[in-house]
Amino acid sequence: MFDLNDCIAYITCKGAKALAQRLEKRLELYNVTRVQWTAMYYVSLDKFITQKKLSEKMSLKEPTIVRLIDRMEKDGLLERINSQHDKRVHNLVLTAKGNSLNKELTAVAEKFKNDAIANISEADLSTFKDVLEQMLADTEIKDS
């Protein structure tokens, strides 16, 4: 008989949600959401990132990413800069405030990651990643 508590999808989803909420709690001290920090992280890595590219990296739909960018621009964390190659395209860049905050929050996220894996051996962590990758590969819907 099927038991939801033994379902890998349920277990991993429940765990991922709990970890996300715990990281969110640490970021609350900076008045930033996990989604906002994730956006700052990606913008900091790519000086030519567009709204569309950011949307793809974060797996967010168009209306959601627009609201996120509008809010972050209003809060002085990032700005839209016209592309030199195509005036219809806007590249996203962190402001000085956004860049400074991103550095602080990246350190918070790094500490969170280290706290989460502190009692897990390198071998177990490697096995966890390998097993998860295998499960994802095994359950991928393939075009026939």
- In DSSP terms, 125 is beta-bridged to none
> 4-113 belongs to which CATH class?
mainly alpha
CA 94, CA 73: separation in Å to the nearest integer? 9
pLDDT confidence of residue 143: 63
Nearest one of 93, 34, 82 to 60, comparing CA atoms: 34
Which residues, in sequence order, are CB contacts of 24 under 8 Å at separation 6+? 33, 34
pLDDT confidence of residue 83: 82
Do the Cβ atoms of 109 and 23 come closer than 8 Å? yes
- Low-confidence stretches of the chain (pLDDT < 70) are 143-144
Prediction pTM value: 0.86
Do the Cβ atoms of 135 and 73 come closer than 8 Å? no
The single residue listed with the structure tokens 């592309």 is 83
pLDDT confidence of residue 57: 96
